[in-house]
Structure 1
Amino acid sequence: MYNIGIIGCGKIAQLRHLPEYAARGDVRIAGVYDRNQERGEAVAKNYGAKSYHTYEELLANPEIVAVSVCTANNSHAEISMKALQAGKHVLCEKPMALTREECREMVRAAERNGRHLLVGHNQRFLKTHQEARRLLQEGAVGKLISFETHFTHAGPETWSIDAGKNVWFFDKDKAVFGAMADLGVHKTDLIRYLTGQEIVLSHAFLETLDKKGGDGTPIAVDDYAVCYYRLEQGAAGTMTVGWSNYGREDNSTILYGQEGVMKLYCDEKYSLIIEKKDGTRVSHEIDRIQTNAGQSKSGVIDEFIECISEDRESIISGREALASMEAVFSAIENADTMGLAGKRRELR
């Protein structure tokens, strides 16, 4: 039986981490911590756990062997490294951390302390993505030429535990990044996973187009981003992410090869479609994409516990997450910031 601690009891913890741990027969949720003490106590009561007044007190419990870090972005690195130093295995929510050095230090801390560090890149566990990776490797659409991937929805203020225009995702001090890191890190990691290739060139366009805070002024982080990525074997493509899609959530990917096109989650019924250049079409009904409104089992919690049990490297290890974050950091550093935090550059 593995005793688990939950640090941060917001929406992602309540929708995924807590129920998925509770569904396993070999896990006990032993302790929780949340800055909102009342929320933490309510969660603890619901799961038969202890509510701690500080996360340091939770980490000091020697019976807790692993923790989920589900806090705001600006505390991921600090809490994760303290947990690793305390001898805990760590599952950290994305984005991994705020700087390259923080990400690298998290990986080093895991290695120094002989503990597993995983980051919640759940898109690698979707069956359609796993089948697409296999088919790409088999050459189902020939050599990859280009790609486009999307992740857009109505924004975190519509589903966060403290929903509304003052949500922490819009607070630059707590979130630091906007849609580019919130959603873009998922699709950056997915492109690396699907293709088995590293991203060698990146550039982004970041904007604040629509979102406003509680005071009516534009938020200080990006709510829309378009990124150009080039892969190590020459293929190139775009990633579009945003928080201002007020229709159906879009989490689609299209891969263009020399022999055809592969479409993922572009069709309501068929999650994987291959269109060959000879006109043939093969449609696969595999699964449905996870959405904020339609949650399904992530696979992340099972992977975390199994990695601990089997003492093996994970496909969502800290080192894998670091490689994806490197591409995100490069894209942001090379970004054109139009209309972001008061900056605007226009053609004359």
Structure 2
Amino acid sequence: MSKVRVGIIGCGGIANGKHMPSLAKVQDAEMVAFCDIVIERAEEAKLKYGNPEAKVYSDYHQLLSDGSIDVVHVCTPNDSHAEISIAALEADKHVLCEKPMAKTAEAARRMLEAAKRTGKKLSIGYNNRFRSDSRYLKEVCAAGDLGEIYYAKAHAIRRRAVPTWGVFLDEEKQGGGPLIDIGTHALDLVLWMMDNYKPKAVLGRAYHKLSQTENAANAWGPWDPKEFTVEDSAFAMITMENGASIVLESSWALNSLEVDEAKVTLCGTKAGADMKKGLRINGENNSRLYVNEIELNSGGVAFYDGASEDPAELEMRTWIDAVLSDKDVLVKPEQALVVSEILEAIYESSRTGKAVYFE
């Protein structure tokens, strides 16, 4: 194929904020179909990002029946990720599904099974892997410079930044709050850096402490307590089969001045690293402690030749290149499934008050 023909399913916030503007900068891709249950949103997307021949739909099944479409981007609420992704894979389309992989681990497993069964590519939108600090730290970890990483923290803390639009506060649609929304990014980064996808046990707690605050201070205006059905914060300890420990912290609303989102702290036998104040590597050399602050604005090797440094655009370029060149995707569905399994275990642990063990 000369260009990858892309259909967008769900033309709301994440499609407009990331997928469509970034795809528009990828020369090897063209958006040829737009679908949304609110047809006006699909029509607006076509006017902005499509060509005159682009199709508009309110029913995603109609979009999937178009045999000329190569790739589908699923940008809908969490509860429909699996249904649409599986249908797209079975319609002979490659699929990039927005994070998290699915509302439940069982649904995520069905997505993975469909990808294996159809032989089509499936990837999940964990775009924070494409940041320059994430890419650099991944190279450091892969080279073994930190040694064995046996303790890590996944940070996803907002002080007061509750998303009040769309269905973010709806547990039925989303499956949860900050844990499944932004905690998922931080957990994905930690597991990727450690290259460790074998959890043993989880002990966690989700809280509903600030969600019922009336006229709350908030980045996007006060929320409606009656609509706030998900947790406002969640925390967990995760132990891995090899003995490593991970602390996961997430919040949309928390009385904390220590605010970090989609960042990690890694502690290894040779050195440590964190993203707290830029990217820092710490360790001991010749009986002296050191801290190296990594300068990420002075160039360096691109992710692949000609790649942009914009994380969202780089995510799309890498994905489209994997389709065109039949390469492995960077965010593998097997990895995203483990993230979903751990998140689900944290919610279960919170409900039961007991640790959850993986077989």
Q: TM-score, normalised by structure 1?
A: 0.84
Q: How far 1:130 moved relative to its partner?
A: 2.5
Q: Which amino acid aligns with 1:105?
A: R
Q: Is contact 2:186-2:263 (8 Å) kept?
A: no
Q: Does the 8 Å CA contact 1:33/1:53 hold for their aligned counterparts?
A: yes
Match of 1:343 in 2: none
Per-residue deviation, 1:206: 0.4
Letter in 2 for 1:66: V
Cα root mean square deviation, aligned = 2.4
Cα offsets for 1:190-236 (capped at 9, x unmatched):
11110111232222110122235965337221120111112333221
How many equivalent residue pairs? 322
Q: 1:143 Cα shift?
A: 3.2
Counterpart-to-counterpart distance in 1, 2:145 and 2:13 = 39
Give the equivalent residue in structure 1 for 2:274.
263
Change (3 A) 1:53 1:297: closer
Q: SS of the counterpart of 1:76?
A: helix
Take 1:126 and 1:215, find their aligned partners in 2: how far apart are those partners? 34
Per-residue deviation at 1:111? 1.7
CA positional deviation for 1:298: 5.0
1:305 aligns with 2:320: yes
Cα separation, partners in 2 of 1:36 and 1:226, compared to 1, 3 Å: same
Per the alignment, residue 218 of structure 2 pairs with none
Q: CA deviation at 1:152?
A: 2.3
298-307 or 69-78: which moved more? Answer: 298-307
What residue is the counterpart of 2:64 in the other structure? 59
Structure 1 residue aligned with 2:303 = none
- Pick aligned residue for 1:273 from 272, 275, 281: 281
Q: Unmatched 5+ residue regions in structure 2?
A: 213-221, 298-309, 354-359
Q: Hey, what does 1:114 align to over in structure 2? A: 119
**Deviation sequence 1:96-133 (CA, Å, 0-9, x none):** 11222211111111122221111111122223222223
Matches within 5 A, 1:66-215: 66-153=71-158, 154-157=160-163, 163=165, 167-198=166-197, 199-212=199-212, 215=224
Aligned AA (1:220): T
> How big is the shift at 1:135?
2.0
State how far apart, in whole Å, the 2-side matches of 1:40 and 1:132 are.
38
Select the residue among 226, 244, 248 that pairs with 1:239: 248
Partner Cα separation in structure 1 for residue 96 and residue 237 of structure 2: 29
The alpha-carbon deviation at position 296 of structure 1 amounts to 4.8
Cα distance between partner residues in 1 of 2:261 and 2:173: 26
Report the residue type matching 2:328 in the other structure.
E
Looking at structure 2, the residues matched to 318 and 66 of structure 1 have their Cα atoms a distance apart, in angstroms, of 16
What amino acid is aligned across from residue 80 of structure 2 in structure 1?
Answer: S
Q: 1:216 to 1:185 in 2, by over 3 A?
A: closer
Tell me how far apart the structure 2 counterparts of residues 53 and 143 of structure 1 sit (CA, whole Å).
50
- What's the counterpart of residue 346 of structure 1? none
- Equivalent pair of 1:148/1:254 in contact (CA under 8 Å): yes
Kindly provide the amino acid, as one letter, of the partner of residue 183 in structure 1: I
User: Which 5+ residue runs of structure 1 have no aligned equivalent?
Assistant: 288-294, 339-348
Q: Is the 8 A contact 1:89 1:117 kept in 2?
A: yes
The answer as to whether partners of 2:271 and 2:281 remain within 8 angstroms in 1 is no
CA distance in 2, matches of 1:190, 1:296: 14
Runs of 4 or more above 6 Å deviation: none
Aligned pair in 2 of structure 1 residues 156, 25: CA closer, same or farther (>3 Å)?
farther
Among 47, 50, 64, the residue aligned to 2:49: 47
Whether the aligned pair in 1 keeps the contact of 2:133 and 2:279 (CA below 8 Å) is yes
Shift, 1:142, TM fit: 3.8
